[in-house]
Structure 1
Amino acid sequence: MAELSALVPLLADRKLEFDNSNNRPILQTLAKLVFKSLIWVVFTVWVATIFSLPTEFGQKLLSKWIRTTQGSIFGVTGSIFLGFSAPILAIAILACIYVAFFSRENLKRNNYKFPRYRLWTFPVLVSGPFGVVSAAELIGIVIFSAYVLWSLAAYVVQIDSSIEGDSLTLKEKSLLMLEIIGLRLGLIGLFCLAFLFLPIARGSILLRMTDIPFEQATRYHVWLGHLTMAIFTFHGLFYVIAWAIQGRLLQQILEWKDIGVANLPGVISLFAGLLMWVTSLRPVRRAYFEVFFYIHQLYVIFVVFLALHVGDFIFSFAAGAIFLFILDRFLRFCQSRTTVDVVSAACRPCGTVELILSKPPRLHYNALSFIFLQVRELSWLQWHPFSVSSSPLDGKHHLSILIKVLGKWTEKLRDIINSVSDNHQNDLSSKLKLITVSVEGPYGHEVPYHLMYENLILVAGGIGVSPFFAILSDILHLSSEGKSCSPKNILVIWAVKKSMELSLLSTVDAQSICPSFSDKLHLEIQTYVTQESEPPLEDGRFNEKMGYPPLLISSSNLMSCLVGTGHKVWAGIYVLVSTIGFIVFYGLLELYYIKPFQVVAWWYRGLLFTLCMVASVVLLGAIVIFFWNKWEMKSSSNDSWTANDNEKKNHNIFVTDDKKENLTSVQTIQYGTRPDFRAIFSSYAEQMGHINVGVIVCGPPGLQSSVARECRYQNIRGKWNHPIFHFNSQSFDL
């Protein structure tokens, strides 16, 4: 390995130079500190309020709060909304400002200069029901579990003390306790529901502020989904048991009363939730993904009938997070209506399809980003996530993805592309319309965290190498431009089943990006072919059959910039206007309809409350999106399409034999074996000394667990002269 200096900066920005903390204006530093502190204060008070609610002090405080604030036009609903939903909306608005003005400083060069452990990158649990869990994630799991257990215990103690002196029989006390515990479980489930919707918003401003990418946040959504549905299931089960013992089960289930909780909508909501829960279990999801995907759209039924079940003021406990999800969902809907030009496509004999898609220059993304892709000729409903395999520095007008042919959807896509390549060249322009592509994204990290490390270990299984091509291309561009703070030592460990997959290395044309990269970068690629004992007769030469050849196209059908990770100021305006609109709409509804006409039915008020949430986004949010889209179109029209930009992406049809200038020159291949991570990491540790090493893994869960286990082992050894391995996972697992 190359000799390293621990004092070399670790983070380079492509276009913006990160200022040193000593050179930043003091007002800018102070403003950042104020915003960050304010966000933390609001969040801490919000969480403390939720934790204190099960206590007598918390309930007295809530009663006092309601008495103080219910005199407004919003009534009790406004009081609860202000106390439990408004804080998360306030954090979202503050986050918009923070990301717009301070996100470039979220990661400073000095942060990773000296080796030290970090909670987010230290794997604690490496196997089990949660998969790989970092120290920070484990703390979150413990806090959530503690909240549920603490709340339940506090409510049970209060219930027991409140009915102890009543002149009731043992049976009556037991039934009453069952119903009250069921009621309290429903309230606990509402708070879990609030957190459930936060990570599933793909372009959420909260995820951008915390720099948690959506593919990682989905894990939190899965964990919270299991917890929330378990609580709601017990909530309903306790009532069902009590009603069955009393002999009025059917009567209570079908009850839909105006004053109080309506039971039938709750049964419908719970049934929809149970269907989503059962089909989202890993065995079912793996075997019947389409069933999981379609059934999961029942979340609309789940939320709407939940609002009908509990009414507007109880629904307000979780309304803020649900509103943020509606904001994200509508923005995704608007973006996905745009069709995108396919610049070129390749069907490779290793069973991989490469698509090059047209994008506007102003749509920025990082190397570790991904998109959701829909091909309307295959399905109008299915959206599939794919990692972006090209660096944003490869060109302003396109990005590429690699798709492994594994199922019916990908097989049909491959057949369409092959049918195009079999037609005459003169008919190609008409055949391009055989594929109508829509895109959501790109999504990913707010900042390019792979540039934080001077030393990288990239571990991939099969097509999991796709995002690492983007990283390599990114670093090669930075090296070519003479950026001194890009990663200097990179070890790629790639496990494939068949040697035909090795042709994917031709995706990164190192020769044209950085002809002398070996002088500026120490790159080593260790490849393991697990199902072949010796090299094939072709000795690495693979014909790359092209479907659509590279083309220069007009910029008429580009990706939409209306994405949660898009323009920061417009995204902030969208959130702010929609939020204010929701408050105004519900205030007008209370003032001119609910109070004058004395609307008292809980379920109807819950429906009106939900309609106001949707209307504010669809009406006022749509106006912002309209002007946002016009602004983006005008800005994109000012950017000319240049041939030089398209030439940065060179699609070779053969793997070159020039071992001196391409990635094959730094590649070693071992056949019939799997990577021995213990030996690899131990050898690496002995050579490198006490430094930070970023480990990024992309592959199946078994591979992630193996790498995480080795990172944990090396870190726990605690030798002063050994590296600290920072584990990061890039795999998208729905």
Structure 2
Amino acid sequence: MVVEFWVMGSIFLGFGAPILIIAFLAFLYIIAFPSDNFEKKNTKFPRFRLWTFPVLVDGPFGVVSAAELIGILLFSAYIVWNIIAYIIQSHDMLSGFSLPSKMKSIFMLEIIGLRLGSIGLFCMVFLFLPVARGSVLLRLIDIPFEHATRYHVWLGHLTMVLFTLHGLFYVIAWSWEGKLTRELLEWKDIGVANLPGVISLAAGLLMWVTSFHTVRKNYFELFFYTHQLYIIFIVFLALHVGDFIFSMAAGAIFLFMLDRFLRFCQSQTKVDVISASCRPCGSVELILSKPKNLRYNALSFIFVQVRELSWLQWHPFSVSSSPLEGKNHISVLIKVLGEWTEKLRNITSKFPEKTQEDFKSWRLTASVEGPYGHETPYHLMYENLVLVAGGIGISPFLAVLSDIMHRVKQKKPCLPKNVLIVWAVKKSKELSLLSAVNAQSLSSSDFDKMNLDIQTYVTQESEPSLEEGKIEGNTDSFFFSVMNGNSMSCLVGTGNNVWSGIYFTVSTLGFIALFGLMEVYYIQPYKITAWWYKGLLFIISMVMGVIILGGVTIFFWNKWERRNSSYEKGTVDDEKSSLLKANRANLASSQTIRYGCRPDFADIFNSFAEQVGHANVGVIVCGPPGLQTSVARECRLQNMTAKRNRPVFHFNSHSFDL
């Protein structure tokens, strides 16, 4: 028993503990060195960066930067080397025994299956790190969740290929021996229990099949609900392999559990919707109540659940407001793309039918997770910006534009001087989205300090519509009663770093202490030897560490947040008035509209290169995959054929795809 405990402990220290230690050090780092000063991260001398240099722009991985390609190649080389090394090692071991060829083949299949399973467990160490949305590890290396989901998808495919081959090799071997049914249903105490492994693999295969792009795009709800089988996948995996083998992946899974529980606690807060408006193009703008101490940047995004529509569905949206616009509100623009968004538009479009008395007694409530995004506002790190948007992809750039304008007015640090916005829309009615820039207090002198050029392309119309110019005035906002000031929680995303560190530390130490106490006072005295049962106890210790000790920490964290972000009566009402009376900045002088054509990125980038000369140019794209591919290809071409005194284009994608 003592030997098994030390074996489990050594495996956990070798695989799980390093991740937890790095996470603890990451908290210390971001507390000691906050990322507020983005100017220090900027380099005045133009140079290439691995993270912003697109190398692959077509293919199954989408747009891949040089840094990502290096990571893919190194990880793939390690996996291939492991598989080849295990096969050679297994062959050499079996060649030393005088066995019939059939038996050697069966043993070879089982050994290779075992090795593939262990490599799959190694991949699981990295599989859960990208989907911890507020993970301190992602914040440390400044990779936002919307980018990290790509790595989760890649690793998910690789992990399930390995686990599927792991099970397939054993099925072939058992079939060859004539004991397939007996082995599949076996649930033994000492050693690996097969039936829990079958259940875990079945749950994993369901998640895998429904996660392919075609299914995810056309049947998102099927993908979303089947992905909740990850709980069965993890629990039965622990029952399958036992505590000490499961501890290989326990560190990363524990970090995910910490993040998931924190998100659950944040999502229980009901958030008041201050106003809702339906724009002529069909998009809906929601303005949500937030506490004054909530930190986010203009390229952040949030997950929103509207209780009146569904209690289960969560949808991600980029913020369309600058953090400098108001202390107590945050806004999002929502395009109608599915059943959920269509219901929201229908509710919003019926607001004019309600009387003033209805609005006093009726509220639209939401739950919010986030905000998430880059730790550093990287749109402020470049003096020259090219923002390329497709349709509703203009939403985050409205926040960027508003952020820059307000920084100029308030004389805050702001590097962007030359800003080019390239916006492609299908119909001219979508042009009304530009009026969402809330710049009511800006003067013409503030605009003169920034060289702004907005090039808009209406692709499916050959000439202006008769109603153009009147679109902006057709949008009505409907404000609701905000009696209690129910605003967003600050627990997730860019929440308080000190409290986040305390939550992580207390939960981790609690988990380790609980399992140690369980080992000393339950497992050893009662001589519990079943691997699957010890794996279950290990999972229970992880859950108790998160819920009980982490829950106590969250309770005091919430009390501290409420005391330090007390609701200021009348502040939201004042902001509502300013939103109603807002005089939208006249951007018409900066906007050029072309009809019946698409952007010619070669010509656009060449013209901008001649304008700015030898400098760093930040390129941010928000739109469909085809648009990202076109811009990434042009950035790569410009950088590879660049001459002296030509700029270096840094490609950044802001598109979100679950």
Q: Take 2:165 and 2:417, find their aligned partners in 1: how far apart are those partners?
A: 54
- Residue equivalent to 1:665: 589
2:119 is matched with 188
2:9 is the alignment partner of 1:78: yes
Aligned match for 1:449, one of 364, 369, 378: 378
Partner of 2:652: 728
- Quote the Cα distance in structure 2 between the aligned partners of 1:683 and 1:521: 18
Q: How do 1:371-382 residues align onto structure 2 when only pairs under 5 Å count?
A: 371-382=302-313
SS at structure 2 position matched to 1:421: helix
- Give the equivalent residue in structure 2 for 1:596: 525
Separation in structure 1 between the aligned mates of residue 427 and residue 127 of structure 2, nearest angstrom: 41
Identity %: 67
Q: Deviations over 1:302-330 (max 9, x none)?
A: 00000000000000000000000000000
Tell me how far 1:430 sits from its aligned partner: 1.7
Tell me if 1:318 matches 2:249: yes
- Could you say what secondary structure the match of 1:650 adopts? helix
How do 1:277-296 residues align onto structure 2 when only pairs under 5 Å count?
Answer: 277-296=208-227
Distance 1:587 1:629, change over 3 A: same
> C-alpha distance in 2, partners of 1:114/1:437?
46
* 410 and 566 in structure 1: CA distance in 2 versus 1, 3 angstrom threshold: same
Q: 1:418 aligns with which of 336, 349, 371?
A: 349
1:250 aligned to 2:174? no
Q: Aligned partner of 2:430: which letter?
A: E
Matched residue SS, 1:512: coil
Moved more, 370-379 or 620-629: 370-379
Question: Is the alpha carbon distance of 1:570 and 1:218 closer, same or farther for their aligned partners in structure 2, counting shifts above 3 Å?
Answer: same
The code of the aligned residue for 2:528 comes to V
Aligned to 2:362: 431
Give the counterpart of 2:550 among 621, 643, 652: 621
Residue in 2 that maps onto 1:535: 464
Change (3 A) 1:72 1:331: farther
Q: CA deviation at 1:427?
A: 1.8
Which residue of 541, 560, 564 corresponds with 1:635? 564
Deviations along 1:460-480, one digit per CA (max 9) or x if unpaired, are 000000000110010000111
Q: Is the CA contact (8 Å cut-off) linking 2:362 and 2:480 kept in structure 1?
A: no
Q: Deviations over 1:203-258 (max 9, x none)?
A: 00111111111000001100100111111111111001111111111111101100
Aligned counterpart, 2:291:
360
Q: Secondary structure at the match of 1:178?
A: helix
Match of 1:236 among 157, 167, 170: 167
Within 1, Cα distance between the matches of 2:265 and 2:635? 42
Does 2:537 correspond to 1:608?
yes
Within 1, Cα distance between the matches of 2:483 and 2:405?
28
CA distance in 1 between partners of 2:609 and 2:245 (Å)? 55
Residue 518 of structure 1: how far off its partner (Å)? 2.8
Contact 1:307 1:606 (C-alpha < 8 Å) held by counterparts: yes
Deviation at 1:639? 5.3
Is 1:221 the counterpart of 2:145? The answer is no
Which whole-Å CA distance do the structure 1 matches of 2:311 and 2:642 have between them? 53
Residue in structure 1 matched with residue 335 of structure 2 by the alignment: 404
Whole-Å separation in 1 of the counterparts to 2:468 and 2:42 = 45
Give secondary structure in 1 for the equivalent of 2:34: helix
Contact 2:388 2:421 in 1 (8 A): yes
Deviating more after overlay: 534-543 vs 353-362:
534-543
Name stretches of at least 5 consecutive residues in structure 1 with no aligned partner: 1-69
SS at match of 1:394: coil
Worse-matched range after superposition: 408-417 or 630-639: 630-639
Aligned residue runs from structure 1 range 111-510, under 5 A: 111-432=42-363, 435-483=364-412, 485-510=414-439
CA drift of 1:362 comes to 1.1
Whether contact under 8 Å (2:620, 2:652) holds in the other structure is: yes
Deviation at 1:561, TM superposition (A): 1.2
Within the alignment, does 1:700 sit opposite 2:624 as a pair?
yes
Map Cα deviations across residues 350-393 of structure 1 (whole Å, 9 max, x no partner).
Answer: 01000000000111101100000111222111100000000000
Superposed, which structure 2 residues align to 1:579-590 within 5 Å? 579-590=508-519
The answer (yes or no) to whether the contact 2:462–2:595 under 8 Å persists in 1 is yes
The answer as to whether partners of 2:38 and 2:377 remain within 8 angstroms in 1 is: no
* Structure 2 SS opposite 1:704: helix
Deviations 1:139-198 (A, max 9, x none): 111111011101111111110111112111112111111100000000000010110000
SS of match in other structure, 1:308: helix
Residue number in structure 1 paired with 2:607: 683
1:566 maps to 495
Pair 1:709-2:638 in alignment: no
- After superposition, the Cα gap between the structure-2 partners of 1:298 and 1:101, relative to the gap in structure 1 and judged at 3 Å, is same
Q: What secondary structure sits across from 2:297 in the alignment?
A: coil
Letter matched to residue 208 of structure 1: R
SS at 1:355's partner residue? strand
| Distance (whole Å) between structure 1 residues aligned to residue 550 and residue 341 of structure 2 | 35
Structure 1 residue 640: Cα displacement: 6.0
Secondary structure, aligned partner of 2:42: helix
Amino acid at match of 2:325: D
User: If the length of structure 2 is used for normalisation, what is the TM-score?
Assistant: 0.97
Secondary structure in 1 matching 2:154: helix
Give the secondary structure class of the aligned counterpart of 2:435. Answer: helix
Q: Secondary structure at the match of 2:97?
A: coil
1:651: how far off? Answer: 4.4
Structure 2, unaligned runs of 5 or more? none
Q: What is the DSSP-based 3-state SS (H/G/I as helix, E as strand, rest coil) of the residue aligned with 1:624?
A: helix
Indicate if the aligned counterparts of 1:531 and 1:672 stay in contact, CA closer than 8 A: yes
| Distance change in 2, residues 1:369/1:485 (3 Å) | closer
- Quote the offset at 1:514 in angstroms: 4.4
Greater displacement, 443-452 / 555-564: 555-564
CA distance in 1, matches of 2:36, 2:350: 49
Taking the aligned partners of 1:88 and 1:605, their CA distance within structure 2 comes to 22
Structure 1 residues 105-145: Cα deviation after superposition (integer angstroms, max 9, x where no partner): 78553632110000000000001100000001111111110
Matched letter for residue 229 of structure 2: L
